[in-house]
Amino acid sequence: MAKRIASKLGLAHIELDSLHWEAGWQALTQTNPGEFIRRVSVAVSAENWVLDGNYGVVRKLVWSRGTHLIWLDYSRSVIMYRVITRSIVRAVNQTELWAGNTENWRRWLRPSHPITWAWTTWRRRRRQLEELLQGAEYKNLVVLRILRPREAAKVVDELRWSV
């Protein structure tokens, strides 16, 4: 969705995963969080951008610079269907992701794999985002909370934001 919005508005698309992952599935949030923060800081220093992702370590930096936030607050079943399908397709096709990494079937049972991570964190992350967005700290953001995929498609199709 972020990529489509960026394209429609003629803005830079920032994908946090591409700034986060190093070769061998090394997560900068664990190995070098300062470098991850530096990379994100450089990326969001531009005047206008559309960002894809939500890492806690850079949330304050990103959200304080942002103007709009689209929260894809889908049901757990929708999330799991999408994560599992995406993981299967990537594993079968050996799709190169970030820093040359590819899906590896052997990694699927690890707690850090997207399937396990999405299942175990869905409820907590949803509650956390609700609390953060109700607070005063991020009143700068115009928040659009989308509950169904068809709503997301409609938002992009009817996009009339000005930058």
**Weakest mean pLDDT among 57-61, 68-72, 85-89, 154-158:** 154-158
C-alpha dist (Å) from residue 102 to 23, 89, 98, 153, 162: 10, 11, 8, 28, 37
Span 118-131, pLDDT tens digits: 999 999 999 999 99
pLDDT tens-digit map of 60-87: 999 999 999 999 999 999 999 999 999 9
For position 153, what pLDDT does the model report? 84
Task: Give the pLDDT confidence of 94-110 residue by residue, as tens digits.
Answer: 999 999 999 988 888 88
Q: Give the H/E segment covering residue 97.
A: none
Round to the nearest angstrom and report the end-to-end CA distance of the chain: 18
Exposed e or buried b per residue across 106-127, where buried means at least 16 C-beta atoms within 10 angstroms of its C-beta? ebeeeeebbbeebeeebeeeee
Average pLDDT over residues 8-22: 95
pTM tops 0.85, yes or no:
yes
Tens-place pLDDT, residues 18-30: 999 999 999 999 9
Give percent of the chain with pLDDT exceeding 90: 83
DSSP bridge partners of 59: none
Which pLDDT score, from 0 to 100, does residue 161 have? 55
In tens, the pLDDT along 109-121 reads: 888 899 999 999 9
Distance CA 124, CA 126 (A): 5
Say how many C-beta atoms besides its own lie within 10 A of residue 58's C-beta. 23
Domains and CATH numbers, the chain: 2-157 (3.40.50)
